[in-house]
Structure 1
Amino acid sequence: MSTLVIKESLFSRPAMIGIILCGIVLAALPIMNLLFPYGHALHISSYTIGLIGKFMCYAMAALALDLVWGYTGILSLGHGVFFALGGYMHGMYLMRAIGKDGVYQSHLPDFMVFLNWSEYPWYWWMTEHFWFAMLLVVLVPGALAFLFGYFAFRSRIKGVYFSIITQAMTFAFMLLFFRNDTGFGGNNGFTDFKRILGFSITAPETKAVLYLVTLAALLGALFLCRAIVTSKLGRVLQGVRDSESRLMFIGYNPLWFKLFVWTLSAVLCGIAGALYVPQVGIINPSEMSPANSIEMVIWTAVGGRGSLIGPIIGAFSVNGLKSWFTAAFPDLWLYALGLIFILVTLFMPQGILGVVQKLKKRSKEGDAA
């Protein structure tokens, strides 16, 4: 059934045209922000650019989760830690790039001066270099995922037990990063960024470039995942999801397939987090909260897991609703989110994309009749 969804919703010619058109429209938004002055009918506000940029980062994280949950059957409730680690690795560079423009005018970040630190800890080594920070964005979430996944998958932990330990992992990291002595800013995290690659991080031109890089990364991740799930590797991953014991019986070792897709998913999540931080302007331990990881699961479920394009739709839909709901009814959002998940589980098990497919099928049957 999932293969049918892929072919019709993502890989058909009309769908590909739709993806291209959506990409063109999204790419045009920051250009309209720069070209047309405030008050012009075609002007797109900086707030809208930042909001959509943030949604694209969330969409990339949901896509990464769909790769392991929708196609491999591994439900993770800890992807928030990979997202946040990618953000922290980029945030270390951004904090170094502040230079002496902080409150205390020190070469150290303000939070280190406040805590009477005299030098950077060893794990901040080389983080003043952008290329090294980007390397950490990939390596740190990837290494954590590889080590965690290796021991978990080798022990054949699966199902709800795996979900629980992933949630425990992200909760443990959140508590660790809340500590002031870890060198990551404690509960305040990293903020007050000034520059990136020498350019003002608040300049409209810089924000437009960050937005376009995020769009390119999202599209690149989408087509990378498409190439994987439509290959022989993708069929093996779906075999792991549908019947792991049968796959072992015919000679495959699921450990390395699961470990590969789990690590790749973590890396994609880390890149999404790294793109998120300069656009939002802050990263703190709350991004590692179990609730954030659960929200990623909801985005994927609402859009339609096992479809690649569904999680992107779900991330935009749920976060768009969240932006409106938290402004209109700030105290009720969590109740609304829980209700959305229950309703989707009961009445839309294949998500928004599944509903669209059913409507298309009924329309075709009606035309044939």
Structure 2
Amino acid sequence: MNSTLDKFFGGKQGGIGLLILAALLLLVFPLLLDSFRLNMVGKYLTYAFVAVGLVLCWGYGGILSLGQGIFFGLGGYCMAMFLKLEASDPESTRIQSTPGIPDFMDWNQITELPLFWQPFQSFGFTLLAVVAVPAILALIIGVAMFKRRVGDVYFSIVTQAIAAILTILIIGQQGLTGGVNGITDLKTLLGWDIRTDEAKTILYFVNAALLIGCILIGRFILASKLGRLLMAMRDKEERVRFSGYDVASFKIFVFCVAASFSAIGGAMFTLQVGFMSPSFVGIVPSIEMVIFAAVGGRMSLLGAVYGALLVNYGKTVFSESFPELWLYFMGGLFIAVVMYFPNGLAGLWQSHARPWLARLRLPDRRQPSMKPKPPAEQPGAGGATIDAVPAKQLESTP
């Protein structure tokens, strides 16, 4: 039982934290918020998938990717392609020059469905592609970079460049991707109207359940030997390499996992919001996604979720109240967190809230046992006592 708690819940305290988050997402928000605000929170949670992946990739693996919008957008586009094909049946598009294809293809004088669009007529293939396509691209990038020991700031620059290239490619191929407008006017999922309030509420719960599942997967990875190796590589990469481990393979794996998490978030974003555009693929959204993880705490999976919720809520409030200044507020928030709370909300909880809660605990009023202590625990008995062991050594003892 203890092993299960450690692997999937992060111990007793981690399990309590996960239960609090689950109660907040599955009970508190649905009961207190109306349909519009609940759907907005659901949109925020789609970004939390990216933040959770960045905790694994950046916080524990030391791989700062400034191009996670690539994978978020690819997952969203895969889902949008299926939904757009379903909305473009011959009956609905009978007024077009070529019925049965998306409207933006007809506008660009394309007369038949492109070959790479055709598999997305299958929902099963679409679900597979949502995870597989971004993971394959991450695998290609990882092999090209990590096998050649390209890391640190150089890797961050490369991911930014790929994000910019992909954005330009999507915008330039307007007849195949919808261009700058993206893929819009998405109506149904397997005949189910996703535009209704009831549908958006159901999708919110699906979104929250998938997010909790990703957190559990992340905790399982961190509790395994791989998690310990990731932290060792982050701190002393050369020492791990000289110990005989293939550092590049571990980096590629965690980078692909983070890409898959981001893609799931992108697919859920498309379902909840009803469109996907290249504005979610570029450099700016990718940097914002890093801010989510930094504010929440790049070493905390749960903190990443709270960071995504807080930053996006602040973004919404600031943009509504101060449309010309909200970018400065966002930048100030990030600078303040980096300067004063480098470990984010999770670090703030560890350093301030938890000690305060510990002081509120009632003292143990049980009567002390009259049974004499064993000789090894008595002062001067010649045996080492636990009080003589330094605190740091105790913390590092498994």
TM-score of the two chains, using structure 1 as the length reference: 0.90
Shift of 1:24: 3.4
CA–CA separation in structure 2 for the residues paired with 1:298 and 1:25: 22
Cα distance change, pair 114–364 in 1 and its aligned pair in 2 (3 A): closer
Q: Taking structure 1 as reference, are residues 208 and 249 closer, same or farther at Cα in structure 2, changes over 3 Å only? A: same
* Structure 1 position 199 matched with structure 2 position 199: no
Residue 347 and residue 31 in structure 1: after superposition, are their counterparts in 2 closer, same or farther (change >3 A)?
closer
Structure 1 segment 328-347 matched on structure 2, within 5 A:
328-347=321-340
- The one-letter amino acid paired with 2:69 is G
**Which residue is equivalent to 2:92?**
101
Amino acid at match of 2:169: L
Query: 1:308 — aligned with what?
Result: 301
CA distance in 2 between partners of 1:363 and 1:81 (Å): 41
Secondary structure (helix, strand or coil) at the match of 1:157 reads: coil
Q: Which runs of 5+ in 2 are unaligned?
A: 1-5, 364-398
**Structure 1 counterpart of 2:186, one-letter code:** F
> 2:42 matched to 1:53?
yes
Structure whose CA Rg is larger: 2
Instruction: Indicate the residue corresponding to 1:3 in structure 2.
Output: none
Aligned counterpart, 1:26: 25
Aligned length, in residue pairs: 352
1:221 aligned residue? 214
Note the C-alpha offset of 1:115: 0.8
Residue identity in the other structure for 1:11: G
Deviation at 1:179, TM superposition (A): 1.3
Q: Percent identity?
A: 40
Letter in 2 for 1:63: V
Q: Any unmatched runs of 5+ in structure 1? A: 1-6, 33-41
Once the two structures are superposed, what CA deviation does each residue of 1:135-168 show, in whole Å capped at 9, x if it has no partner?
1111110110000110100111111111000000
1:318 aligned to 2:311?
yes
Q: Which amino acid aligns with 1:60?
A: F
> Structure 1 residue 356: deviation in Å?
1.2
Shift of 1:16: 2.2
Label 1:193 to 1:343 Cα distance change in 2 as closer, same or farther (>3 A): same
Name the amino acid aligned to 1:163: S
Distance 1:361 1:279 in 2: 36
Partner of 1:84: 73
Q: Say which SS state the counterpart of residue 320 (structure 1) adopts.
A: helix
Question: Which one of the candidate residues 350, 360, 365 is aligned to 1:357?
Answer: 350
Matched with 1:287 is 280
Q: What are the Cα deviations for residues 304-353 of structure 1, in whole angstroms up to 9, with x where unaligned? A: 11121111111011001111111001121211111111111111111111
Q: Aligned partners of 1:25, 1:228: CA distance in 2, in Å?
A: 24
Letter in 2 for 1:329: F
- 8 Å CA contact 1:240, 1:254 repeated in 2: yes
**Could you say if the C-alpha distance between residues 107 and 365 of structure 1 is closer, same or farther in structure 2, counting changes exceeding 3 Å?**
closer
Alignment match, 1:163: 156
The corresponding residue for 1:149 is 142
CA distance in 2, matches of 1:237, 1:128: 39
CA distance in 2, matches of 1:227, 1:23: 18
Query: What one-letter code is carried by the residue in structure 2 that aligns with 1:55?
Result: Y
Query: 2:203 touches 2:272 (CA, 8 Å); kept in 1?
Result: yes
- Residue equivalent to 1:187: 180
In the superposition, the TM-score normalised over structure 2's length comes to 0.84
Q: Which range is displaced more, 179-188 or 107-116?
A: 179-188
- Letter of the 1:90 counterpart: M
- The letter of the residue matching 2:12 is R
Residues in 2 aligned to 1:104 and 1:173: alpha-carbon distance in whole angstroms: 32
Structure 1 residue 173 and structure 2 residue 166: aligned? yes
What is the CA–CA distance in structure 1 between the aligned matches of 2:360 and 2:267, rounded to whole Å? 48
Deviation at 1:11, TM superposition (A): 3.0
In 2, Cα distance between the equivalents of 1:210 and 1:29? 16
CA distance in 2, matches of 1:179, 1:331: 30
Q: Which residue of 1 aligns with 2:244?
A: 251
1:71 equivalent in alignment to 2:60? yes
Q: Tell me which residue corresponds to 1:16.
A: 15
Residue identity in the other structure for 2:110: W
**Does residue 271 of structure 1 match 2:264?**
yes
Match of 1:128 in 2: 121
1:42-64 residue CA offsets vs partner (Å, 9 max, x unmatched): 6x422112111111111111101
Check whether the contact 2:296–2:346 (CA below 8 A) recurs between aligned residues: yes
**Residue 269 of structure 1 aligns to which amino acid in structure 2?**
S
